[in-house]
Chains A and B, each alone.
Chain A
Amino acid sequence: QVQLQQSGAELVRPGSSVKISCKASGYAFSSYWMNWVKQRPGQGLEWIGQIYPGDGDTNYNGKFKGKATLTADKSSSTAYMQLSSLTSEDSAVYFCARTPFDYWGQGTTLTVSS
């Protein structure tokens, strides 16, 4: 069965960076786009971008260009999202979800605080 297992909660300092992972199993990782989504309480859901692990091609929401960097490791079937120059506005739950958004990871809570 398809599973997306995300890395654990993170507490980081403002101005720093963090890398969140999403390990896929149960399907051909290289053949499906992997998406990343941000959810803040009261703010709804935002699509950050997607990566095609087969060739590393990416598409970003313009709002997150310069904030998020998506990568993927085919050998470990793991997708990564690095967030940089963190502020309190980046505190949120982040999900990975494969296209066509049928299966989602359990979410990773990021807290940016000094």
Chain B
Amino acid sequence: DAVMTQTPLSLPVSLGDQASISCRSSQSLENSNGNTYLNWYLQKPGQSPQLLIYRVSNRFSGVLDRFSGSGSGTDFTLKISRVEAEDLGVYFCLQVTHVPFTFGSGTKLEIK
């Protein structure tokens, strides 16, 4: 299985700061067609996950440009610029290249 190691577990930030979250896979997430299926989500308490970024760097419909994704192969990063109160919650990555699909353990973004 592709193990997704996500860091940090907790990320205290001040409003207006930039936040950066990392996901590292135990194997390359690029498939034989050259596509890399790595998504980023935000989950707020009591809610289902909401897609932010798909296929490494593509913002989902309605997602603000303060959110950006980058990376390749085994190393991926989600950046949130100018953090706002509505951004608080748990962020996690999901790889959908290899079966079984696997999730990162989550990063809780909270106010410093």
Q: Which residues of A contact B (CB under 8 A)?
A: 35, 44-47, 59, 61-63, 95, 97, 99-107
Contact = CB atoms under 8 A, between A and B. Distances in A.
Contacts of B94: 45, 101
B51 A102 contact: yes
B97 to A, nearest CB: 11
Contacts of A102: 51, 54, 60
A100 B95 CA distance: 11
Contacts of A63: 100
B39 interface: yes
Given A44-B106, A100-B39, A106 B54 contact: no
Q: Which 9 A-B pairs have the closest CB atoms?
A: A61-B100, A104-B48, A45-B103, A47-B101, A44-B105, A102-B51, A47-B100, A107-B48, A106-B48
B96 interface: yes
Is chain B's interface secondary structure helix, strand, loop, or mixed overall?
loop
Interface of B: 37, 39, 47-51, 54, 60, 92, 94, 96, 99-106
A106 B50 CA distance: 11
B98 to A, nearest CB: 11
